[in-house]
Amino acid sequence: MRGQPGRSVTSKVLALLDAFSPTSPALTLSELARRAELPLSTVYRRAAELVEWGALERGDDGRYRVGLRLWEVGSLAPRGLGLRELALPVMEDLYEVTHENVQLAVRQGLELVFIERITGRDAVPVLTRVGGRFAMHATGVGLVLLAHAPVEVQEEVLAAPLERYTDLTITDPARLRRCLADVRRVGYAVSDRQVTMDALSVAAPIRASEGVLAAISLVVAHDRADPVVLAPLVQAAGRVLSRALGSPPRQPPGWTPSPPRGGTR
């Protein structure tokens, strides 16, 4: 794409911002040019404009970093800050009851984005970060979001290669399809050692009037996890947030879920 005549100014700016990653949060001008596949002279001009606006910051070492102005703009996303502010008290309650990791995620395209989390001091380590993306087929929140995604999204995910994170990751499309049906049937998802071999997550949907907006989960050490005990806690948190978002209750009082097939081991 370097020097491609049809490439717009907007696409060039977006390519520069997309060059940054969790493993490369600070880049030199030449690294920016290489990652964005743009001429050095173009990167010099565009980076200067982004620094002036606040989207990028240039440190004393000459490296560029993402600026706070982007965080200010990103916080205006309705599925970001507003949902986080609504969910945090419920997440904190869930943490106080369990002292385990609590996560909140939404779907964006074919992936999920974690928009908030509370990390337990003695809880199992997790690979996620706020603002980080992950595949939907392996995590608890991802299975919930995928199970309630539009059919065309589900089919696109099922048709693509499913990345294997551990020996227990579901990578067979037919089995994943059955697992998603079970998630819809029982009202929660279990991801047992599908991302790391020491962790299990239990997730439930958060509904708004237009459908499932997000998912909330507990991530616990596999050897001390009991999905049957954890599921009602996560589901209750999901229902509280769903009612706050205007969604009516989905299950009658006293309803007890049974473990989903394919999502547990």
Q: Is 70 exceeded by the pLDDT of residue 4?
A: no
- Residue 4 vs residues 31, 33, 36, 112, 139: alpha-carbon distances, Å: 19, 14, 12, 31, 39
Residue 263's identity, in one-letter code, is G
CB-CB contact of 196 with 165 (8 Å): yes
* Separation CA 56–CA 21 (nearest Å): 14
Res. 162: pLDDT tops 60: yes
Q: Cα separation of 207 and 148, whole Å?
A: 10
Non-local CB neighbours of 218 within 8 Å, separated by 6+ positions = 94, 98, 100, 101, 102, 103, 201, 202, 203, 230, 233, 234
Q: Where are the alpha helices (DSSP H) in the chain?
A: 9-18, 29-36, 40-53, 68-74, 83-98, 140-147, 151-159, 173-186, 227-244
Q: Tell me phi and psi for residue 24, to 5 degrees.
A: -135, 70
Residue 134: closest CA among 169, 168, 116, 110:
110
pLDDT at residue 86, rounded to an integer: 87
Query: Confidence band (pLDDT; 50, 70, 90) for 20?
Result: confident
- Residue 187: predicted pLDDT: 95
Q: Quick one: pLDDT band at residue 69, thresholds 50, 70, 90?
A: confident
Over the stretch 178-206, which tens digit does the pLDDT of each residue have? 999 999 999 999 999 999 999 999 999 99
- pLDDT of 253 reads 40
Is residue 91 predicted with pLDDT exceeding 90? yes
Q: Crossing angle, helix 151-159 and helix 140-147, to 10 degrees?
A: 130
Name residues whose C-beta falls within 8 Å of residue 114's C-beta, 6 or more positions apart in sequence.
103, 104, 105, 128, 129, 130, 131, 132, 133, 134, 141
Does position 169 have pLDDT exceeding 60, yes or no? yes
Domains of the chain, earliest start first: 9-73 (1.10.10.10), 78-244 (3.30.450.40)
What average pLDDT does range 151-161 have in this prediction?
A: 95
